[in-house]
A and B are shown apart, each in its own frame.
Chain A
Amino acid sequence: MADVQQIINDVTKVYGKERKALMPILQAVVKIKNYLDDQDLISISKALDLSAAEVFGTASFYTFLDIVPRGKNVIRVCKTISCHMAGKDEIIHAIENTLNVKTGETSVDKKFTLLSTNCLGWCHKGPVMLINDKVFPELTAAKAIEILQNYQEEE
């Protein structure tokens, strides 16, 4: 488990302890441990002398600042109209069956979380999904499963 206090210390060295350091800290924590838990929000609020509610309010606003437990890899399949017409449902079914999860859930081994997302700006190459920060365009069901298998074999 990543040491959140260490992350906070590192980021505040660069950005200071003003309110403006809040976003970089939130992003850094999510980058390293994939989501913010209650204790993380409290630690951050203490470090910046902000109210815990304010830190929670900020984190909850941004889709990419998760405040519920996420797997090691977060899959976001585009749900908007171009990708829908290009067959995103098929991709989602394939992923759901492969990982044995429903959209919004995390696999038992905590390796994957499957989410849907709004437009990723790849409408010309849909259907598209994002795994962590990496984009995978022009998906087919088979291609999506193959990509997941590569992630599964990691470590």
Chain B
Amino acid sequence: MSKYLVNLSVNDIPVSVPEGTTILAAAKKLDFKIPTLCYHEDLCVAGNCRVCVVEQVGARALVAACATPVSEGMQIHTNSATVRTARKTIIELLLSEHNADCTKCYKNGNCELQSLAHEYRVGEHVFIDLVNGKHRVIDDLSPSIIKDDSKCIRCQRCVRTCDELQGVSALTVAYKGDLQKISTFLGHPLAEVVCTNCGQCVNRCPVGALVEKTYVEEVWNAINNPNKHVVVQTAPAVRVAIGEELGYNPGERLTGKMVTALKRLGFDSVLDTDFTADLTILEEGTELLTRLKRALVDKDTRVALPMTTSCSPGWIKFIEHTFPEFLPNVSTCKSPQQMFGALAKTYYAQKKGLKAQDICVVSIMPCTAKKYEANRPEMRSSGYKDVDFVLTTRELGMMIKQAGINFHNLEDSQYDSFMGESTGAGVIFGVTGGVMEAALRTVYEVVTGREVPFKNLDILPVRGMEGVREAKVKIEGCLPEWKFLDGIEVSCAVAHGLANARKLMQAVKDGSAHYHFIEIMACPGGCLGGGGQPIPTNEEIRAKRATAIYREDEGLPLRKSHENPEVKMIYEEYLGAPNSNKSHALLHTHYLARRRY
């Protein structure tokens, strides 16, 4: 931001802001709210919806506050008669092309256009309703996302999200004028194009044109079916965001209340994905060490390094489409969600004396891509669909409200056992850099017998919100069996948001970057900024959720995955050792090269 200050007045109140500030931001500084639709903090300015128009004294026409930088002496009126009339007309025009069947809309009550219509008390039948004359397409073929063109207001937040944040560009603006629409390549269903199901578009859609496919009714049916033993697992990032759905400020840690709520909803067992996150660290850490050994000791040139993480299903689909030549580099470990599903219908079933077909596994995820992942044909290691239904954080909020639970007054309770125990290392899976940090805490200790040399186990170099981060950890004083690693500097990289992932992988591809281990999360900020998280999500909110996750980690007695007693138990009782045959059968998977369009 420029050091030069510009003086202007907003509604006759003087204000000084740095040169380059928009009228929208200057007004916000004075606590004047200007309504917006196409504007989003995470995205570039589009200026196409026009609801943020304001009056600039002396200007010929109204100007868009989101797209106009301030200038010296500017006099802005945000609520003059002209502005009010224009704004109301703009909203009414948007509504004339919008399927405003609000009571039946999935976004009812959480729609920015609906709120504006409510705020401005738009009239009925002001303009001719153009919705019915249009060819409307509802694409519900994806297991993750439903796209309904009749509700689209063409603000293009989704297009900018898919391009700028994710570097995928599965969505584009096609055709023009009254035929203009947001489209995939040739209008193909989302399920048949490069869409990674990350749901970042869903998180930013101001209306109901892009929503998650909901499985709430299916989950209620399972809960109400006396023959089903319904197990629920909760992802790390849900506990620090669920509050936002239920009236809390962002960044509130509500693990205990959430567990109580899940029990009240009627789940037979409330367990934690963090348990399988810890398990992932042992499987993935062992895989990394095995790959390093093959490369360094056996001089096996076929070993694929750098190895990348595999927890993020959006990342997996992205690399399958975009860098299929790097699929051997992806860890074969399933994501914690799928490890949990496979174990719930085998290990858990066996110990509880249940049949796999009588168990229903529900996941609460900050993610829409997890819905797709659970539907992948590879994810049936138990002989059944390992994870039956995936709900987003938002859908869990919906269920809690439907059940009439007063969340604020709930007592804390603990996860059930077993597969409910976790460490701080499992919790930080929910933030970018967390898997890397968790892996380093364990791998370093396995190899050297000592704790990772960072104060309080906080590996600060891999933390933060920088798009791509690098860290080097020197390994010294190895135990005899790991002597070959002595003196080696393990080179790591972390990327979040697929646009950053693309940059990082491109650097690896053209040989300008060399790493041993790469963590990639599809969503900005990692899972805490996932497509299934509460709306809105933006930089400030992501930072608050990240702080909450690190607090959660600090507050747990165990902070290293290999110390998780239930993880030790499952290896003793069931799996044998990390990367054993049984582990491979249940906890590992393979990938598929896909088309790039």
Interface residues, chain A, with chain B CB atoms under 8 Å away = 38, 41-42, 45-46, 50-54, 56-57, 60-61
B173 and A51 contacting across the interface, CB-CB below 8 Å: no
Contact with A along B74-97 (1 / 0, CB 8 A): 000000000000000000000000
Contact with A along B572-597 (1 / 0, CB 8 A): 00000000000000000000000011
B168 and A57 contacting across the interface, CB-CB below 8 Å: no
Other than the given A52-B596, A54-B169, 12 more pairs (CB < 8 A) read A45-B597, A51-B169, A51-B185, A52-B194, A53-B170, A56-B172, A56-B186, A57-B172, A57-B174, A60-B183, A61-B173, A61-B176
Alpha-carbon separation in the docked complex, A60 to B163 (Å)? 18
A57 and B173 contacting across the interface, CB-CB below 8 Å: yes
A60 and B194 contacting across the interface, CB-CB below 8 Å: no
In the assembled complex, B442 has its CB within 8 A of some CB on chain A:
no
B175 and A53 contacting across the interface, CB-CB below 8 Å: no
A53 and B183 contacting across the interface, CB-CB below 8 Å: yes
Task: Please indicate the chain A residues that have their CB under 8 angstroms from the CB of B175 in the complex.
Answer: 60-61
Task: Please indicate the chain B residues that have their CB under 8 angstroms from the CB of A53 in the complex.
Answer: 169-172, 183-185, 193-194, 597
B597 and A61 contacting across the interface, CB-CB below 8 Å: no
5 A-B residue pairs with Cβ-Cβ distance under 8 Å, sorted by A, are A50-B169, A52-B194, A52-B596, A53-B185, A54-B169
Q: Which of A41, A42, A57 has the most CB of B within 10 A?
A: A57
A52 and B174 contacting across the interface, CB-CB below 8 Å: no
| Contact status of A38 and B186, CB under 8 A, knowing A51-B169, A51-B194 | yes
B174 and A46 contacting across the interface, CB-CB below 8 Å: no
Contact with A along B179-190 (1 / 0, CB 8 A): 000011110000
Alpha-carbon separation in the docked complex, A56 to B183 (Å)? 9
B173 and A52 contacting across the interface, CB-CB below 8 Å: no
Alpha-carbon separation in the docked complex, A57 to B186 (Å)? 8
B185 and A61 contacting across the interface, CB-CB below 8 Å: no
Alpha-carbon separation in the docked complex, A38 to B186 (Å)? 8
Closest Cβ of chain B to A42, distance in Å, is 5
Task: Please indicate the chain B residues that have their CB under 8 angstroms from the CB of A57 in the complex.
Answer: 172-174, 183
B174 and A60 contacting across the interface, CB-CB below 8 Å: yes
Residue of B nearest to A62 (CB): B176
Closest Cβ of chain B to A96, distance in Å, is 24
B185 and A56 contacting across the interface, CB-CB below 8 Å: yes
Alpha-carbon separation in the docked complex, A42 to B596 (Å)? 9
Closest Cβ of chain B to A107, distance in Å, is 25
Residue of B nearest to A46 (CB): B596
**Main secondary structure on A side of the interface with B:** helix
Q: Which of A45, A52, A54 has the most CB of B within 10 A?
A: A52
Q: Which of A50, A52, A53, A54 has the most CB of B within 10 A?
A: A53
Contact with A along B442-481 (1 / 0, CB 8 A): 0000000000000000000000000000000000000000
Alpha-carbon separation in the docked complex, A53 to B174 (Å)? 9
Closest Cβ of chain B to A23, distance in Å, is 15
Alpha-carbon separation in the docked complex, A46 to B185 (Å)? 13
Residue of B nearest to A60 (CB): B174
Task: Please indicate the chain A residues that have their CB under 8 angstroms from the CB of B172 in the complex.
Answer: 51, 53-54, 56-57
Task: Please indicate the chain B residues that have their CB under 8 angstroms from the CB of A41 in the complex.
Answer: 185-186
Q: Which of B168, B169, B171, B194 has the most CB of A within 10 A?
A: B169
Among the listed B163, B168, B174, B194, which residue makes an inter-chain contact with A56, where contact means beta carbons less than 8 Å apart? B174
B170 and A51 contacting across the interface, CB-CB below 8 Å: yes
Residue of A nearest to B597 (CB): A52
Alpha-carbon separation in the docked complex, A51 to B173 (Å)? 13
Task: Please indicate the chain B residues that have their CB under 8 angstroms from the CB of A51 in the complex.
Answer: 163, 168-170, 172, 185, 194, 597
Task: Please indicate the chain A residues that have their CB under 8 angstroms from the CB of B596 in the complex.
Answer: 45-46, 52
Closest Cβ of chain A to B595, distance in Å, is 9
Residues 321-359 (chain B) with a chain A CB within 8 angstroms: none
Contact with A along B155-179 (1 / 0, CB 8 A): 0000000010000111111111000
Task: Please indicate the chain B residues that have their CB under 8 angstroms from the CB of A38 in the complex.
Answer: 186
Task: Please indicate the chain A residues that have their CB under 8 angstroms from the CB of B174 in the complex.
Answer: 56-57, 60-61
The 9 closest A-B pairs by CB, nearest first: A57-B172, A51-B169, A52-B597, A53-B172, A52-B185, A53-B185, A60-B174, A57-B174, A60-B175
Closest Cβ of chain A to B69, distance in Å, is 26
Residue of A nearest to B506 (CB): A49
Alpha-carbon separation in the docked complex, A139 to B172 (Å)? 40
Closest Cβ of chain A to B502, distance in Å, is 10
Task: Please indicate the chain A residues that have their CB under 8 angstroms from the CB of B183 in the complex.
Answer: 53, 56-57, 60
Residue of A nearest to B181 (CB): A60
Task: Please indicate the chain A residues that have their CB under 8 angstroms from the CB of B186 in the complex.
Answer: 38, 41, 56
Task: Please indicate the chain A residues that have their CB under 8 angstroms from the CB of B171 in the complex.
Answer: 53
Task: Please indicate the chain A residues that have their CB under 8 angstroms from the CB of B169 in the complex.
Answer: 50-51, 53-54
Residue of B nearest to A61 (CB): B176
| Contact status of A42 and B597, CB under 8 A, knowing A51-B168, A53-B193, A56-B186 | yes
Task: Please indicate the chain B residues that have their CB under 8 angstroms from the CB of A45 in the complex.
Answer: 596-597
Residue of B nearest to A58 (CB): B172
Alpha-carbon separation in the docked complex, A57 to B182 (Å)? 9
Alpha-carbon separation in the docked complex, A61 to B170 (Å)? 17
Task: Please indicate the chain A residues that have their CB under 8 angstroms from the CB of B168 in the complex.
Answer: 51
Task: Please indicate the chain B residues that have their CB under 8 angstroms from the CB of A61 in the complex.
Answer: 173-176
Closest Cβ of chain B to A41, distance in Å, is 7
Residues 520-537 (chain B) with a chain A CB within 8 angstroms: none
Alpha-carbon separation in the docked complex, A123 to B76 (Å)? 43
Closest Cβ of chain A to B162, distance in Å, is 8
Alpha-carbon separation in the docked complex, A28 to B267 (Å)? 62
Alpha-carbon separation in the docked complex, A53 to B194 (Å)? 9
Alpha-carbon separation in the docked complex, A87 to B38 (Å)? 44
Alpha-carbon separation in the docked complex, A52 to B169 (Å)? 8
Task: Please indicate the chain A residues that have their CB under 8 angstroms from the CB of B185 in the complex.
Answer: 41, 51-53, 56
Task: Please indicate the chain B residues that have their CB under 8 angstroms from the CB of A50 in the complex.
Answer: 169
Alpha-carbon separation in the docked complex, A7 to B63 (Å)? 44
Alpha-carbon separation in the docked complex, A56 to B194 (Å)? 14
Residues 237-267 (chain B) with a chain A CB within 8 angstroms: none
Residue of A nearest to B182 (CB): A57
